[in-house]
Amino acid sequence: MGRYSDSQEWADITPIPQNDGGPNPLAAIAYTEEYSEAMGYFRAVTARNEKSERALELTEHIISMNPAHYTIWLYRANTIFELQRKNQSNLQDDILEELQWLDNLSLKHLKNYQIWHHRQTLMTRLPSMPSTELSFLAQMFAKDAKNYHVWSYRQWLVRHFSLWDTELPYIESLLTADVRNNSAWNHRWFVLFGQHIDPSSGKGMDEVGNIVDEDLLDREVDYTQQKIRLAPQNQSPWNYLRGLLRKRGSLLECKSFAEEFMGDLEDGGDGCRSSHALDFFADCMAEEKEAEKAGKALELLAKRYDPIRRNYWNYRRRLLGLGAVEA
């Protein structure tokens, strides 16, 4: 017998079965009996637009079986808000109670993005961020420091609650723990430069006429170089460095820095400690119109230090008017 069909609480509801296209569906999904029954009652509840405590409990039951069901999450959020309106309860208390339930679920289902959309929906109703929010996100990152869904949510949180001035120390702690955390490098860029995005154009303020903060760029270039020295073959800070220098319009100020890691070009690149330094140097030489020197760096990448991408490096050589090289 069923959980709902045997319950007096649900006696007034006639479940609506799923329509798979007739009595002999081509590819019916083999749902469990428990899930099929719960969804039948959910369809009946939504058909009458019922926002009640029992509807809320029903969504919790279905989420326990299928936490990726977006429609259930949306109905749950709307039910919470409607119940608060009807009961005249404290919305912030209701949301904090929901977040506490959600925390445990999030730690169990690390890669579920519907959970994070639901959390964001709840947060939009709060005047300020709960004091426990950042510590919970730290728990999530302790389990997976590069969880895309959590990082996306954190970016939204920073922008929504204007946390720009307090975020940098946390990012630095993550990069101290793991300098190869590409997600932390991306978030650092967002915190330092995302604040200055013009919502009307989607461009950075420096692209629409505002002056670039040269002191900030100086500090970030120095910081990034320090991190590159810790792990020269780590691509993330090299990309970050390029982004900084492009705001100034030239890579050349860090050409000598790249040369520290690329070995001797004329001696087959012996002593090279970073393929990314060779790539960076090639772009510097292209900027200076030194095609042969750029081509030599690209040749070393194609032949010795990154042959898996030989076709790409040869493409870059052709852009300089040079011929392809063989492995």
Give the position of tokens 């869904």.
149
CA angle 163, 166, 170 (to 5 degrees): 115
- Half-sphere exposure of residue 200: CA atoms within 13 angstroms, side-chain side: 3
Cβ-based burial of 187 (10 A; exposed 0-12, middle 13-18, buried ≥19): buried
> Sign (positive/negative) of CA torsion 230, 234, 235, 236?
negative
Catalytic residue among 86, 108, 111, 203: 111
DSSP code, position 204: B
Contact of 76 with 63, CB cutoff 8 Å: yes
296 noted as active-site residue: no
Alpha-carbon Rg for the chain, nearest whole angstrom, is: 28
| 47-52 contacts, C-beta under 8 A, 24 or more apart | 47/16, 51/78, 51/79, 51/82, 51/83, 51/86, 52/79, 52/83
Would you please indicate which residues are annotated as catalytic (active-site) residues?
111
